[in-house]
Amino acid sequence: MNISKEQSLVNRLAKKDETAWKELFGAYSGKLTYVCSRYIIDREDVHDVLQNSFIKMFRSIDSFEYRGEGSLHAWTKRIVVNESLKHIKQNTESKNWADVDEIPDRAHEDEPNLEEVPKSAMMNMIRELPDGYRTVFNLFVFEGKSHKEIGSTLGIAENSSASQFHRARAMLVQKVKDYKMSKKAQYG
């Protein structure tokens, strides 16, 4: 029986092997920082959430069930998302979750080509969204959650989740258009 590198790491983590935990941190911290920073803006808060996430991983590694290649990464990512959501709930006023009429709902318009926008610029645009919009957008797009699941997770109505997603999407479409216009003006 051939044990994968990831499965070997999981076995060492379960034994609380210090070098295995350093290896996990080295291999995953960059990706997990990226995931966390999609939800949380402040750098110190991102650091705190990641620290809490790694503590949670350490404490709950015994309950982790290896299900094949990639399952360790999926598990660590799920912990970071959950810790990020917990942080947001504890530090965000509930009014930020209410439906806001800043952006009118628009009919389907031509969507800009996202391939023309660098990943870092797109990440910044997502980070600029209001807290509620950003959280719902991330859960729907990156985590594949339904609006029913998002509503349940965040303690908001399902239709409120859908509304916030559509408004976040409309804001991003406008931000992408503005970005492309500024690039066009800059380079003629």
The C-alpha angle 170, 123, 128, rounded to 5 degrees, equals: 55
What is the DSSP code (8-state) at residue 156?
A: S
Domain residue limits, the chain: 5-91, 95-187
Find the range with the poorest average confidence among 80-84, 104-108, 146-150, 179-183. Answer: 104-108
Helix (H) or strand (E) holding 109: none
What's the CA gap between 71 and 65, in Å, rounded?
8
Query: What topology is assigned to 5-91 in CATH?
Result: Rna Polymerase Sigma Factor; Chain: A (1.10.1740)
Query: What is the distance between the alpha carbons of residues 10 and 67, in angstroms, rounded to a whole number?
Result: 11
Per-residue pLDDT tens for 80-90? 999 999 999 88
- Specify the CATH number for 95-187; select among 1.10.3720.10, 3.30.70.20, 1.10.10.10, 3.20.20.70: 1.10.10.10
Residue 109: is its pLDDT beyond 60? no
pLDDT band for 117, please (50, 70, 90 cuts): confident
Closest CA to 99 of 158, 160, 171: 160
Q: Is the dihedral of CA 36, 41, 46, 49 positive or negative?
A: negative
User: Distance between CA 103 and CA 85 in Å, rounded?
Assistant: 24
The candidate with the shortest Cα–Cα distance to 85, out of 119, 134, 51, is 134
Summarised one tens digit per residue, pLDDT across range 7-38 is 999 999 999 999 999 999 999 999 999 999 99
Tokens (6 digits) for 96: 């930020």
CA distance linking residue 97 with residue 130, whole number of Å: 9
CA distance linking residue 166 with residue 169, whole number of Å: 5
